[in-house]
Amino acid sequence: MEFSTHTSASLHQIKTAALAVGVYADGVLSPAADIIDRASEGLLRKVVKAEFQGKAGSTLVLRAVPGVSAQRVVLVGLGKQADYAPAVHAGAERAFAAACIQAQAGEAVSTLAANPCGESTMRARARSAAIAAGQAAYRYDLTFGKGSERETGLRLRKFSVWAERADAAQAQAGAREGGGISHGMDLARTLGNLPGNVCTPSYLGETARKLAAEFKGTLKAEVLEQKQIEALKMGSFLSVARGSDEPPRFIVLKYTAPRAASRAKTAKPAKAPVVLVGKGITFDSGGISIKPAATMDEMKYDMCGAASVLGTMRAIAELELAHDVVGLIPACENLPSGRANKPGDVVTSMSGQTIEILNTDAEGRLILCDALTYAERFKPSAVIDIATLTGACVVALGHVNTGLFSKDDALADALLRAGRQSLDPAWRMPLDDAYQEQLKSNFADMANIGGPPAGAVTAACFLSRFAKAYPWAHLDIAGTAWRGGKDKGATGRPVPLLVHYLLEQAGKG
């Protein structure tokens, strides 16, 4: 989708397929709605009084409004004026986009970001508007037949954020950032939604290469194959890959920030990169410790950590972020076979630490630990791994908050702040040393599970043993990366959180 801004003072003269104006639950029209009401000689107030209550997220489409050039005026409920908050605004933008899609409008203009909302800025509201519209307009169609309704239906292709001229610069910056995040989320969602027989480790590698070709000025991809991974002595990662006929891939995607001429004159060295590590299990059967069959199809989503890294890298390349970033993705399948890991096996990680595998379904940490060791070579300012790691995190936090684990308070606070600002929230979980006791093994340096108690915590404790050389955080997205049931599909989280965090880091000098 194309995102832009609109600053025409004459709202009633904007020619568009759909124009959104807000209405509060107490009957108060937003300033934009008031302009349209006056242009239509009081029509909006009559409609609001007769049939529109302004409930948050509700919509009413009015066609051929007299005195207004837009084909449709869409009334969007904002809820009680006193309760209007950033989350309500984002919901209103999603509702408007959904109404446009229902009406088969190909382009739209929204005035909703112009309404004050707590302490948020116009830039933040424009960013949120673009993200919300992108979420509503996303459509997966890659594995439907040709000529299907999914493939041929009219799509919302252009979304504009309206702002007063005084706010135009902020609106433009926010819409651009939101557009980049939206495009990154689209990529992450599509990769997650693709079936495991299509989105293989090799497919992820090719996706990284295509991104590098698209953004060849700033992105560079290196995709390591079996022998190269063996040469690195990534024994833990390779032990998981061994059970599948699909060859593993270790993806290194480097983003180098554009060096402005003015910056080059100062000879100021580039800041140490942030490294993002994404779990790339393209299908997880559980291995020998096989999963129940009922929802095993959803284990194609076990590479959503990898998808979020690729989506984030795409977003920052589009936005030309002023900070170097490295994406690392260990990618393989976890399947049962005569070569697969068995409970009781002992493997040696790239770090030299040995691991007793008590459960082959705790495989994500086995591939991530080698990637965390590999990350040391970049001398990073911070390392963040992202993984659909534990069902225990879903039990603890449900589908609202991503689990955040870190011993670095500054890093944790920055990620929590980014989550709040992006409406992609995380919740900090404990990482006390006392939990490490559960990982003791009689036959290796550690076991790969710590038993049922605090399963999400002990998984993070396991990873922490390989992340001592730099500030590190772990995001467990098992409850937030996808939805099951009738709304089954990838969400694109935590791309907004990660991009907000990186934008903040880039702005620190």
Task: Please give the full DSSP string across 361-410, using - where no structure is assigned.
Answer: T--HHHHHHHHHHHGGGG--SEEEEEE---HHHHHHHTTTSEEEEES-HH
Runs of H (alpha helix) within 63-221? 86-102, 122-137, 149-152, 168-193, 201-214
Which of helix, strand or coil describes residue 54?
A: coil
Contact between 130 and 179 (Cβ < 8 Å)? yes
Instruction: Report pLDDT for 278.
Output: 98
Nearest of 273, 277, 271 to residue 310 by alpha carbon: 277
Nearest of 81, 93, 74 to residue 117 by alpha carbon: 81
Whats the size of the chain, residue-wise?
A: 509
Task: Report the Cα 224 to chain-centroid distance in Å.
Answer: 25
Instruction: Report pLDDT for 509.
Output: 40
Q: On the CB side of 456, how many CA atoms lie within 13 Å of its CA?
A: 26
Q: Cβ atoms within 10 A of the Cβ of 148, count?
A: 10
Residue 275 to residue 54: CA distance in whole angstroms: 45
Residue 155 to residue 226: CA distance in whole angstroms: 41
Q: Which domains does the chain have, with CATH numbers?
A: 2-161 (3.40.220.10), 182-506 (3.40.630.10)
Residue 396 to residue 419: CA distance in whole angstroms: 18
Instruction: Report pLDDT for 149.
Output: 65
- Ranges of the chain whose pLDDT falls below 70: 148-154, 260-269, 508-509
Instruction: Report pLDDT for 146.
Output: 82
- CA dihedral (93, 479, 346, 235) in degrees, to 10, reads 0
Say which residues have a Cβ less than 8 Å from residue 302's Cβ, sequence separation at least 6. Answer: 279, 281, 282, 283, 284, 334, 364, 388
Nearest of 255, 298, 279, 331 to residue 499 by alpha carbon: 255
Q: Cβ atoms within 10 A of the Cβ of 407, count?
A: 16
Report, as residue numbers or ranges, the catalytic residues.
291, 365
